[in-house]
A = this chain, B = another copy of it.
Amino acid sequence: MVYIGIVGYGTVGSGVYEVLRTNRESIARRAGEEIAVKRICDLREFPNDPASDLITHEYNDLIEDEEIQIIVETMGGTKPAYAFVKSALLAGKSVCTSNKELVAEYGSELIELAKERNLNFFFEASVGGGIPIIRPLNQALTADEIMEIRGILNGTTNYILTKMSREGSDYASALKEAQEMGYAERNPEADVEGFDACRKIAILTSLAYGMQVDYQDIDTEGITKITKQDMDYAKALDAAVKLIGESRREQGKVYARVAPLLIDSSHPLYSVNDVFNAIFVKGNVLGDVMFYGRGAGKLPTASAVVADVVDAVKHRGTHVVTLWSSKKLILGDSDEAMNRFFVRVPKNQKEKAIEAFGNVSEVISDKVRGEFAFITEKMKEGSFKEKTKDLDVINRIRVGF
């Protein structure tokens, strides 16, 4: 029997408890041993919960319990999660977490700490919820140089954009519906402004290149400016607007960004709708692969955490190598990144736009009037900013094809 402790008995934490109970036998078969939750640390009481007897308010009850070999951290945030996780590793316990803020900020340090002690720090659930992506990046795509990652990494925004596209609703009402459905929080900023996706693409990029990518360095743009009209144009282009966290290697530099992107219908990300997430990876020999699934939700996320626990049990006494050094990866200057842009200006600026951009292809939607919309050639971000300086741009979206 292997005992574990859970810190943070919210949605994911209680999901971990439930998954371990529901699939007790098959999990024991996979792990080679039965796994049981011994203590759960949370500040709240859960009087009617099946796990109510296991609750403690004292984190030290878990740390000091020598029978507990693995800590599951599902609190979220960095304070006090970072201190808790660190003390767990120092106490000789492996840690499995779903906490993207913690991993994005302290991943390389906590991996190093685990390595020094022959322990493991696993974080499959921190990106893509239930989708296996961390482990494949670390252990399956090892023959490749990663050229590009493009991820739909946030279910809330994907739900809103899908809604807007399908029903022609505007951003505000799609957000409202997402909130009513429980897919968006009352304060939706972390999702809709792209901050959540930003931490996730920072983690994936760190793993792809084995170095520290600071999420603060990643240009991040949310979906709040996307309108009905943008969706109409996207349809005219046989494309969809998706919030994409991406990083790509070009001329020896890695460029990373979170922003809405027009994805054409032949791209596998195009048909990833509703709350689903998907991560598209291009390797230099492998070509294109994509991982698709539920990027959030109690049980899918808990499934990924429990898979980490199984791996931690199988590797007791052995550190599973994750290449993620604390050395900082200096990202390419975002003004130097090459992109094509979809641009909307008032009709009376057509000549001016063509003068500025030269060769453009016009985009016509029979649902939008009084505008001139076009797609530019590939150009540097900086050059695009320069060219639009004197234009009254209604909106502009990067083009992923």
If A140-B124, A286-B299, A294-B287 touch, does A323 touch B135 (CB 8 Å cutoff)? no
Binds B, one of A21-29, A100-108, A190-198: A21-29
- Total contacting residues, chain A, CB less than 8 A: 56
Contact A143 B289 (CB under 8 A): no
Smallest CB separation, A111 vs chain B (Å)? 15
Q: Which residue of B has the minimal Cβ distance to A289? A: B293
Q: Is A141 an interface residue (CB 8 A)?
A: yes
Smallest CB separation, A208 vs chain B (Å)? 10
Binds B, one of A61-69, A181-189, A301-309: A301-309
Q: In the complex, which of the residues B22, B29, B291 contacts A284, with contact meaning CB atoms closer than 8 Å?
A: B22
Smallest CB separation, A136 vs chain B (Å)? 5
If A285-B299, A287-B300, A323-B30 touch, does A135 touch B139 (CB 8 Å cutoff)? yes
Interface string of A275-319 (1 = CB under 8 A from B): 000000001111111111110010110111111011100100010
Interface string of A383-401 (1 = CB under 8 A from B): 0000000000000000000
Contact A143 B286 (CB under 8 A): no
Q: Is A92 an interface residue (CB 8 A)?
A: no
If A292-B268, A292-B292 touch, does A30 touch B287 (CB 8 Å cutoff)? no
Q: When chains A and B are docked, how far (Å) is the Cα of A140 from the Cα of B133?
A: 9
Q: In the complex, which of the residues B140, B286, B293 contacts A288, with contact meaning CB atoms closer than 8 Å?
A: B293
If A29-B323, A143-B27 touch, does A285 touch B302 (CB 8 Å cutoff)? yes
Q: Which residue of B has the minimal Cβ distance to A270? A: B271
Q: Is A144 an interface residue (CB 8 A)?
A: yes
Q: Is A260 an interface residue (CB 8 A)?
A: no
In the assembled complex, which residues on chain B have CB atoms less than 8 Å from the CB atom of A139?
135, 139, 307, 311
Q: Is A132 an interface residue (CB 8 A)?
A: yes
Task: Name the interface residues of A198-239: CB closer than 8 Å to any CB of B.
Answer: 210
Contact A286 B290 (CB under 8 A): no
Contact A130 B297 (CB under 8 A): no
Q: Is A329 an interface residue (CB 8 A)?
A: no
Q: Is A331 an interface residue (CB 8 A)?
A: no
Q: Of A19, A289, A305, which is in contact with the most chain B CB atoms at under 10 Å from its CB?
A: A289
If A29-B210, A284-B23 touch, does A307 touch B142 (CB 8 Å cutoff)? yes
Give me 14 A-to-B residue pairs in the complex whose CB atoms sit less than 8 angstroms apart, sorted by A's number.
Answer: A23-B284, A132-B136, A135-B136, A141-B303, A142-B310, A143-B309, A143-B310, A271-B271, A285-B302, A286-B304, A287-B299, A287-B300, A288-B292, A291-B291
- A residues neighboring B (CB under 8 Å): 18-19, 22-23, 26-27, 29-32, 124, 130-132, 135-136, 139-145, 210, 268, 270-272, 283-294, 297, 299-300, 302-307, 309-311, 314, 318, 321, 323
